[in-house]
Amino acid sequence: MKRQVPSVRDLAPLMQFKKPQLNPKTRRLAAALTIEDLRRIAKRRTPTAAFDYTDGSAEAEISIARARQAFQDIEFHPAILRDVAKVSTGWNVLGAPVALPFGIAPTGFTRMMQTEGEIAGARAAGRAGIPFALSTMGTSSIEDVKAVNPHGRNWFQLYMWKDRDRSMALVERAAAAGYDTLLVTVDVPVAGARLRDKRNGMTIPPALTLRTVIDALPRPKWWFDFLTTEPLAFASLDRWSGTVAELLDTMFDPTVTFDDLAWIRDQWPGKLVVKGIQTIADARAVVDLGVDGVVLSNHGGRQLDRAPIPFHLLPEVAREVGSDTEIILDTGIMSGADIVAAVALGARFTLIGRAYLYGLMAGGEAGVDRAIAILTDQIERTMRLLGAAALEELNPSHVTQLVRLAPKESK
C-alpha cells in the first residue's frame, strides 16, 4: 500500500471545528434528541416532589407503563415508491385547522414544575399552530393565557366540582375569553392514589422542610425562580394550604352523571369534548348525547391503576363512533411515531401532557419549543418512511398492534 504525507490542503476539510454554544440552556436543549432526553434533563433540574408529581401515576404505576409499552408493541408497514418530498402534517380538528396532529393537554399546578408554566406552553402552542388546553387546576388565569395566545386555539378543561356555580363561572369566563373548545373530564369522581406524592409529602405550595432544602441544593435555579416570582395561584381558587389529594377530594364531585353532561352541553357555546372515555359503551353513550369529540384517556395512569389502555381501545372505538364524532387520544405518548400510529388507527388528534412538561422543566418556554420540534421531526420522518405524504393517507394498514396482554378466555 502506497503512503504519502497529507498536505495542508487535504487536511483542511477534515479540521473544521464546530462553533461552541456558550448558552447552557441552548446547548442542553439542542443535545436533547428525544422526549426521554428532555425527561432526563428535567429530572436533574427539578426538585424531586415537583418532578415526581409530573412523572408519577397512581398506585403501582402499571397503567402508564402499559400505555407506553403498547406504543412500543406495534409494527409499521411502509409503502414504497411514494412521492414524500413534501409532507402535510395538518388538517381540521373540531372545526378549525391545526398544523400538527397533537396539542398540549391540560395539566394542573404547572407553574410548580417551572415558573413560566402555562404561559410558556400557550406561547409555544400558538407559534406551532396547535391548541393549548388550560386545566381547571391551572396556575395561570383564563384571561392571561388568552392574552399570550390571542390568535391561537385555546381550550378549557373542566372538572365539575361540588360547587356547581363556581364550576360554571369558569366556563362562562372561558367562553367570554374566546376559548373554542371545552374538555369535560369525567374520570375523577375522587383522586387517584398517587403514592409518590404521598411519600414526598407533596403540598401546594411546596413546603420548605429539611428534606426539601437538602433536595434543593443541587437545583438552586428552580428554587430561586420559585421564591422570586409570583406565588402559585389557580384558575379555580386563590390559595390552598394542604396536600394535593386533600385539594382534589375537596373539589371533585362523585355525583356527576350523564344528566350533568347534557346540562353542560346546553350551556357551552363552542365545541364540547368528553375526556376520560375508557369503554366502547361509554364512547357511544356520550356521542349519543351530542358531544363533538371524545378523548380516549385513563388520565395518564393517574386515576385507576390497571385501567384500559387507550391505544388498545382506539381501533374498536373508531369502528363504533368514528363516523359520528372526532376521536382524540392521550396517555403514553412519548414520540412522534406514537402519534402517527394513533392517527393511522383512527384518532383525529392526540394530546401530550408529560412530554410537554418534560420540555418545560428542562428549559422553560424554549424547552416546550424543543419538545414540539422533536415530535414534529419524528412525525414527518415517520410519515415519509411509511410513504404517507398527508395525514389523510394514514390508515390501519400501516400499523399492526402486537398484543402482549390478551384477555384470558373464559371456559
In sequence order, what E strands does 45-138 have? 74-76, 91-93, 96-98, 102-104, 132-134
User: CA-CA-CA-CA torsion for 181, 187, 193, 195, nearest 10 degrees?
Assistant: -40
Other CB atoms within a 10 A radius of the CB of residue 153 amount to 22
- The candidate with the shortest Cα–Cα distance to 124, out of 332, 285, 283, 359, is 359
Of 25 and 377, the structure prediction assigns the larger pLDDT to: 377
Mean pLDDT rounded to a whole number for the chain? 90
Q: In the prediction, which pLDDT does 226 show?
A: 83
Average pLDDT over residues 8-20: 73
Q: In the prediction, which pLDDT does 245 show?
A: 60
In sequence order, what E strands does 196-307 have? 203-204, 242-243, 271-277, 293-296
* DSSP 3-state percent helix, strand, coil across the chain (nearest 5): 45, 15, 40
3-state SS, residue 113: helix
The dotted CATH code for 31-401 is 3.20.20.70
Q: Residue 43 — φ and ψ, nearest 5°?
A: -65, -35
Which residues are marked as active site? 299
Q: Residue 272 — φ and ψ, nearest 5°?
A: -120, 125
Domain edges within the chain? 31-401
Q: In the prediction, which pLDDT does 246 show?
A: 64
User: CA-CA-CA-CA torsion for 248, 251, 256, 261, nearest 10 degrees?
Assistant: -100
Query: In this structure, what C-alpha cell is assigned to residue 145?
Result: 393565557
The amino acid occupying position 409 is: E
Q: In the prediction, which pLDDT does 213 show?
A: 67
- Indicate the range of 215-224, 239-248, 256-265 predicted with least confidence: 239-248
Return d(Cα 290, Cα 50) in angstroms, integer.
38
Average pLDDT over residues 139-143: 92
> 53 Cβ partners below 8 Å, 6+ apart?
109, 112, 113, 194, 196, 197, 200, 202, 244
- Indicate the range of 1-10, 265-274, 341-350, 357-366 predicted with least confidence: 1-10
Position 232 pLDDT exceeds 80: no
Q: For the chain, how far is it from start to end, CA to CA, in angstroms?
A: 74
Position 215 pLDDT exceeds 90: no
3-state SS, residue 25: helix
Q: In this structure, are strands 132-134 and 154-158 parallel, antiparallel, or unpaired?
A: parallel
User: pTM of the entire structure?
Assistant: 0.92
Residue 349, H or E segment: strand 349-352
DSSP conformational letter for 257: -
